[in-house]
Amino acid sequence: MKNEHKLKEIYRKMLEGVETPEEKESIAQWLDQLNMSEPMEQQELNEWTQRSKEELQKMIKSPSSSQSWTKNATWIASAAAILLFVSVALLMWFDNRQPAEKEQPTTIYAEYSTRSGQRKLLTLSDGSQIWLGNASKIRYPKDFQKDKREIFLEGQAFFDVSHDSTRPFYVHVGELDVKVLGTSFDVENYTADGEQTITVASGKVLVQPLHNDQQWILEKGGQVVYSLADKKGVKREVDLAVILGRKNGELVFRNETLATIVVQLERWYDVEIDLVSPVLKDKRLSLSVKDEALERVLSMLSVAGDFRFEIQGKKVTLYKRKGE
């Protein structure tokens, strides 16, 4: 309230007759800037401002140089009344603008990330739980807003959301927004895969792309696979064993191509796998394991996939068997 203190100081000086011409002009200028809280038509506001300014300037200039302001009771009363009005109006002016001038409180975000071969379990302030997958990153406000809960995800995560009808839960995932009230679902958002996948394990979710009018309502077992290239999604029913197994630390493949399996193994074990023989890429395999070493997993896959492998540190190479 710096201007309020300045106004009071000029008011004191006017009563004592020691104010400067510049301070007199300040009062007139403030009148020019006032905007009352009650709505006014523009013309009415202009007329009021001009009339008030002229009236104040007239009163400021009217006392003769030989006249003592402190002895002129009429002038003092009038000046005091106007200054009181200006003070009140100025306070209203500041109060009306205070919300607009205040800086919005800065939102503090929590951020977590995993590298390949690493997973994390997170518990949010509302009791919701997130199983953050390999090579993934998540960001969310430490304190959710009163009307919504928002999460930003890159990579893969499984969500078990606490029900709250007053605060919908949103997951912003690349080009898709997922809205839920209380449910469990899985999200995959690896840019390198060229697609985003939402799978519901329980409850119901609404999935909406950012760039078109499509939307999907998914219930238990429902999945949407959204192509980043053509901006279209396909809805289907799926086996939840893969999603729930991954949440529980299991590797589950159901009739997947070896090329797809290799990508999953790279993220799961933090290795780089080179599929040397192109003929191997389209081989379809199934497997379910938990807490198994990479060598053991590859050994089991190689029997059904009819390939051999070499592991050197974090470098893995797959070959077709000799004679094929």
pLDDT tens digits along 99-110: 555 566 688 899
19: which 2 tokens? 């104010």
Residues 192 and 225 occupy one common structural domain: yes
Last residue of a domain, one of 243, 275, 291: 243
Residues 232 and 267 occupy one common structural domain: no
Mean pLDDT along residues 167-195: 93
Residues 160 and 239 occupy one common structural domain: yes
Predicted pLDDT of residue 13: 64
Residues 232 and 255 occupy one common structural domain: no
Average pLDDT taken over every residue of the chain: 81
188, pLDDT greater than 70: yes
Predicted pLDDT of residue 29: 59
Residues 113 and 185 occupy one common structural domain: yes
Mean pLDDT along residues 132-158: 94
CATH of the domain at 265: 3.55.50.30
Last residue of a domain, one of 243, 266, 283: 243
274 versus 90: the higher-pLDDT residue is: 274
The string of DSSP letters for 147-166 reads: S-EEEEEEEEEEEEPPP-TT
Confidence band, pLDDT 50/70/90 cuts, at residue 94:
very low
12, pLDDT greater than 80: no
CATH of the domain at 145: 2.60.120.1440
Mean pLDDT along residues 243-250: 92
Which of these, 178, 175, 282, lies nearest to 230 by C-alpha position? Answer: 175
How does pLDDT run across 26-83, given as a tens digit for each residue? 655 555 555 444 544 556 555 655 665 566 556 555 554 445 544 454 555 555 555 5
Lowest-pLDDT range of 19-28, 77-86, 144-153, 289-298: 77-86
pTM above 0.85, yes or no: no
Residues 113 and 49 occupy one common structural domain: no
The string of DSSP letters for 8-70 reads: HHHHHHHHHT---HHHHHHHHHHHHH---SS---HHHHHHHHHHHHHHHHHHHH-S-TTS-GG
Confidence band, pLDDT 50/70/90 cuts, at residue 10:
low
How far apart (Å, rounded) are the C-alpha atoms in residues 113 and 14? 66
CA angle 267, 184, 202 (to 5 degrees): 120
182 versus 270: the higher-pLDDT residue is: 270
- Give Cα separations from 92 to 9, 44, 86, 99, 294 (angstroms): 19, 19, 10, 12, 71
Last residue of a domain, one of 243, 272, 303: 243
Predicted pLDDT of residue 185: 96
Provide the residue range defining the domain that includes 255.
250-320
191 versus 59: the higher-pLDDT residue is: 191
The string of DSSP letters for 304-318 reads: HHTEEEEEETTEEEE
Predicted pLDDT of residue 37: 46
Alpha helices in 207-278 (DSSP H): 241-247, 258-269
How does pLDDT run across 226-242, given as a tens digit for each residue? 999 999 999 999 989 98
Residues 72 and 15 occupy one common structural domain: yes
Share of the chain above pLDDT 70, in %: 67
Residues 156 and 208 occupy one common structural domain: yes
Predicted pLDDT of residue 79: 56
53 versus 163: the higher-pLDDT residue is: 163
DSSP structure class, residue 124: -
Residues 141 and 267 occupy one common structural domain: no
Residues 173 and 263 occupy one common structural domain: no
Q: How many domains is the chain built from?
A: 3
Residues 161 and 200 occupy one common structural domain: yes
Residues 58 and 152 occupy one common structural domain: no
92, pLDDT greater than 70: no
Confidence band, pLDDT 50/70/90 cuts, at residue 8:
low
201, pLDDT greater than 50: yes
CA dihedral 126, 127, 131, 132 (to 10 degrees): 30
45: which 2 tokens? 């506001």
